[in-house]
Amino acid sequence: MRAFPWIRFISLCCLGLCMAVPFIWMVSASFKPRREAEEAHIVPHEPTARNYPIVLDMVPDPVTGKKLDMRFGRWYFNSLFMAFGITFLQVLTSAMAAYAFARIQWRWRDRVFLLYLATIMVPGIVTMIPNYQIMVGLGFLNTYHGLIIPAAFSAFGTFLLRQFMLSIPRSLDEAATIDGASHWCIFWDVILPLARPGMVALGIITFLGAYQSFFWPLVLLNDDQYFPLSVGMLALDTTYGRQTELIMAATVMNIIPLVIVFIMFQKFLIKGIQLGAVKG
């Protein structure tokens, strides 16, 4: 029995290493010259950091002698702007809806919530054409509005924060009401500070999903100045041919914000999900 913790530890380390191999190979391939990029070995024989300035359009491609003429910096900004915009609006709207479903008593509240929650089961591809037609009618094609507004509302986010708010004692609402506080004051000054771990968890989940959004920007946009990285990077596999080492370098730069966000807020993510999963 004494050896069991060590066996479990070694097993988890081996499993984690196996899961990390693709990531390690990706980082390694980003430092390989083109003739080594497709090879299976992880350690490059002739490592080079030239792939990164090539992707950033700072130096020409040594094979063709020309710059890629990509707007990588612009696409980087678009991805971050879209992700932050969607995260802010989705957390705000989900918190307001969750407060209405968790803290306010009104007729048919639970039935409406179940109906609202049922929208999670509707595949996104089903609503793609109606959403696109709405964006056309509003003149939101090739705009940031068209990228952000359709994703600003989330039934999952409402469910997560509702479960979290249900764990907050109702005596706090009653005390605030006795002091003359309105629903808005209770929501803003009492509930939101206590629901911060759940909001941070939702924000992280939303940011990770929005930053990697691909299909909706691909459908909505045809002007490359509005492309996020997920769409713009297609140029490395289409317009310029398959250039594995450049794709890997672009991918490494692409996932850096995701890694930073997860490392910084992983404790809040775990805490928010754990507390939100239990109804008090």
Q: What are the residue ranges spanned by the domains of the chain?
A: 4-49, 72-276
Instruction: Report yes or no: 167 and 275 within 8 Å, Cβ to Cβ.
Output: yes
pLDDT band of 210, cuts 50, 70, 90: very high
Amino acid at 88: F
The correct CATH number of 72-276 out of 3.90.1300.10, 2.60.40.420, 1.10.600.10, 1.10.3720.10 is 1.10.3720.10
pTM value > 0.95: no
Q: Residue length, the chain?
A: 280
Q: 32 pLDDT exceeds 80?
A: yes
Q: DSSP assignment of 237-261, as one string?
A: TTTT---HHHHHHHHHHHHHHHHHH
Q: Taking all residues of the chain, what is their mean pLDDT, rounded to a whole number?
A: 85
Picking from 154, 231, 224, 164, the residue whose alpha carbon sits closest to that of residue 192 is 164
Q: pLDDT tens digits, residue range 162-208?
A: 988 888 888 888 888 888 888 888 889 888 888 888 888 889 889 98
